[in-house]
Structure 1
Amino acid sequence: MEEKRKHQRTEINEPAYVSAGGSVMRCVVRNISPDGAAIDVDNPAFVPAQFRLVMAGGSSTRDCTVIWIREKRIGLAFVAPTDVRAPG
């Protein structure tokens, strides 16, 4: 299989949350890069196509789009820059 990622992923095992439309679901981030991540969830059927990924420690929050789902693992692309600041 051809590798399509721009950046290599870093393997991690950190708790996080899928947040969308006022509901929150626990997940575990398995790997991450500047462009995306892979998460494990109990039931992928309840994960919307777009959501906010919130790291449990509060270290970061990223808007995401689901790219693929394989069993309980979901591949994500980050859709917003890490640090957005107002001009000035």
Structure 2
Amino acid sequence: MDEKRKHPRTEINEPGYVSSGGSVMHCVIVNISPEGAAIEVDNPAYVPDRFQLVMANDPSVVYECQVVWTKKTRIGLSFVAAA
């Protein structure tokens, strides 16, 4: 499979939160780069196409995200500019 990312991802395995429309769901941020990340969630069916990813260890760090792909409980994200 060809690598499509412009930047390599850094493995971090840190806790985070999927936040959208007032609801919050726990996730694990598996890896991250300047342009996106991959997260693990219990049930990807509850993750909206667009949401905010909040770093649990530093809640001041928030990314606007768009879902790019889903494989079982792992979701690939790209970071987008805030509307």
Cα distance, 1:80 vs. partner? 2.0
The corresponding residue for 1:41 is: 41
The corresponding residue for 2:62 is: 61
2-side partners of 1:62 and 1:32: how far apart? 11
1-side partners of 2:35 and 2:15: how far apart? 19
2-side partners of 1:79 and 1:13: how far apart? 22
The aligned length equals 81
The corresponding residue for 2:14 is: 14
What one-letter code is carried by the residue in structure 1 that aligns with 2:70? I
2-side partners of 1:72 and 1:32: how far apart? 17
Runs of 4+ in 1 over 3 A off after TM superposition: none
Residue segments in structure 2 that go unaligned for 5+ positions in a row: none
1-side partners of 2:81 and 2:14: how far apart? 21
1-side partners of 2:15 and 2:25: how far apart? 11
TM-score (norm 1): 0.89
Residue segments in structure 1 that go unaligned for 5+ positions in a row: 82-88
The corresponding residue for 2:79 is: 78
Cα distance, 1:59 vs. partner? 4.8
2-side partners of 1:36 and 1:80: how far apart? 12
What one-letter code is carried by the residue in structure 2 that aligns with 1:79? V
1-side partners of 2:74 and 2:47: how far apart? 11
Cα distance, 1:60 vs. partner? 1.0
